[in-house]
Amino acid sequence: MVEHQGPLDTVPEENYPPLLTQNNYWNTKQLINQVISEDQEYVTWKLKDVRTGGTMNAYLNDFTKNHYDQDDSSSAEDISNTNIAETLPQRARKRNGRSTGRVSKAPPINSVPRNVRFPRDIYDSQLAALPQPRELDQSEQLNLLLTNLDEEQMNRFEVFRRTSLAKNNIKKISSIITNQTVAANINLLLAGVGKIFIGEIVEKAQEVKKRKLAALMASRFRDKQIAAYRLKKTLKKLTLMVEGPDASYDDSVDENESDLCEDDEDESLVNEVNTYNRLIRSEINSEASRLGIIRHYNKLVKSFNALDVSVEKFTNCPLLPEYIREAWRLYRAENDTIPQATWRTQGEGNGWMFR
C-alpha cells in the first residue's frame, strides 16, 4: 500500500497483485472494524452525555452498603429476598427475648414498617449531624464562591460581570413601552433583568449547539459505517479477482451486493454508482474491471479517512444565529405553558391551585 492518508491506504493502479492477498484482506478488515468500534464508543459516550443529566447510582450504592438500620443485623440481600412484613415482627420478638410459637399478624398492606428508613430521611439525618458553621454574609459567600471556581468558570464569571446592556437603549425601550419617562433606578433594574434574560437565552443556545453537534456526529458515524462496509466488500471483490475463481472467504461480507445511491437527483453520482454496480456484479475478470474497482476503492478510502466523528474541535466555536433563534423558540414554548398570575390566584385565593 502507498500514499498513507490515515488509518487506511490506497491501492496503486500498477503492480497491485502482490498487495491484494488474503492476509491483507483480513488485516484491513480487522483495522476497519477496530476504527468503527472506537468511533462507536465515542459516539455512545457523547450521546449519553447529551441525553442524560446524571444518575443517583453512586448515592444508591452507598445507601445499600452503609445506610441500613443499625438495629437490623441482616444484609441488603436478605432484606431484598425476604418478606418485610413477616421478618420485622420476628426480629422484634428476638430482640425482646420472647420466642413464642404464635405467628404475629402481619401489618396491613398499606402501612409502612416503623423501622424502615428512606434515603431522604437518611440524608436529612446526616445533614443534621454535620457541624453547622456560622452564617456567612454576602461578601464572604462571594469570596468563597470565587476561590472554588476553576479557570473556565472564572473566565465566564468575569465576562458576565463586565458585560452590561447599553443604558441609552434601555432608556429608549422603556420610554417607548411605557409612553412616559422612566426613572434611572427602574432603567437600572431593567438592565439587570435583561442581562439575566440574555444569559438564559445564551445558555439555552449552548444546549442547542451541543445537540446540533451530537446530530452531526451521529450522521458522520452513520456515513462512516456505510463507507466501511463498502470498503470491505470492494476489497474482497478485488482480492477474489486477483487470486482467481478458486479462492473463497467464509465471512458475512457479500462482495456481489449492489450499492444504493444516496442522492437520486445528482446525475454524476447516479452514473458512478450504476457503473460500479455493473463492475461488481460482472463475472468478467478483466484488467479494465479491476482498474475500475480499484479507483472506486481508493475513493472510498479517501472518504473514510476524511470522516471524523469527533466534535471536540467545534466546542469553542461561536454561536450561530440559527442557535439563537432555536433557543428563543424553545424559551417561548417552555414559558407559554405557565399559567398567568390571575389564574394562579384562583381557588382559595392563595396561589396554591397550580402548585
Across residues 186-193, what is the average pLDDT?
90
Beta strands of the chain (E only): which ranges?
2-4, 9-10
82 pLDDT tier (thresholds 50, 70, 90): very low
pLDDT value, residue 95:
47
196 versus 93: the higher-pLDDT residue is 196
pLDDT value, residue 41:
92
SS3 state of residue 134? coil
pLDDT value, residue 279:
82
Q: Count the Cβ atoms, other than its own, within 10 Å of residue 236.
A: 22
Counting the structural domains of the chain, the total is 1
SS3 state of residue 10? strand
Q: From CA 129, how far away is CA 148, in angstroms rounded?
A: 25
DSSP-assigned letters across all residues of 32-61 = HHHHHHHHHHHHHHHHHHHH----SHHHHH
87 pLDDT tier (thresholds 50, 70, 90): very low
The model's pLDDT over 150-189, given as tens digits with 9 standing for 90+, comes to 998 899 889 888 888 888 999 998 899 888 888 989 999 9
pLDDT value, residue 252:
80
Query: Cβ(327)–Cβ(208) under 8 Å?
Result: yes
Across residues 43-71, what is the average pLDDT?
61
In a domain, 353, yes or no: no
pLDDT value, residue 323:
92
And the C-alpha cell for 132? 453547622
Whether the predicted pLDDT of 50 surpasses 50: yes
In a domain, 348, yes or no: no
pLDDT value, residue 11:
87
pLDDT value, residue 5:
62
In a domain, 125, yes or no: yes
Q: Whole-number mean pLDDT of the chain?
A: 78
pLDDT value, residue 78:
45
The model's pLDDT over 102-149, given as tens digits with 9 standing for 90+, comes to 556 665 566 777 778 888 888 888 888 888 777 888 888 888 888 998
pLDDT value, residue 209:
92
217 pLDDT tier (thresholds 50, 70, 90): very high
In a domain, 345, yes or no: no
51 pLDDT tier (thresholds 50, 70, 90): confident
pLDDT value, residue 9:
86
pLDDT value, residue 244:
75
User: H or E element: which one contains 100?
Assistant: none
The model's pLDDT over 243-270, given as tens digits with 9 standing for 90+, comes to 876 667 777 888 778 877 777 777 787 8
In a domain, 341, yes or no: no
Range of weakest confidence among 19-23, 80-84, 160-164, 318-322: 80-84
In a domain, 297, yes or no: yes
In a domain, 344, yes or no: no
The model's pLDDT over 219-233, given as tens digits with 9 standing for 90+, comes to 999 999 988 998 988
Residues spanned by the domain of 314: 17-336
pLDDT exceeding 90 applies to what percent of the chain? 14
Q: From CA 346, how far away is CA 340, in angstroms rounded?
A: 11
Q: From CA 293, how far away is CA 234, in angstroms rounded?
A: 7
- Burial class from Cβ neighbours inside 10 Å (0-12, 13-18, 19+) for residue 84 reads middle
In a domain, 347, yes or no: no
Q: From CA 263, how far away is CA 97, in angstroms rounded?
A: 82
pLDDT value, residue 280:
82
Query: Cβ(146)–Cβ(154) under 8 Å?
Result: yes
pLDDT value, residue 345:
52
Whether the predicted pLDDT of 353 surpasses 50: no
DSSP bridge pairs for 9: 4
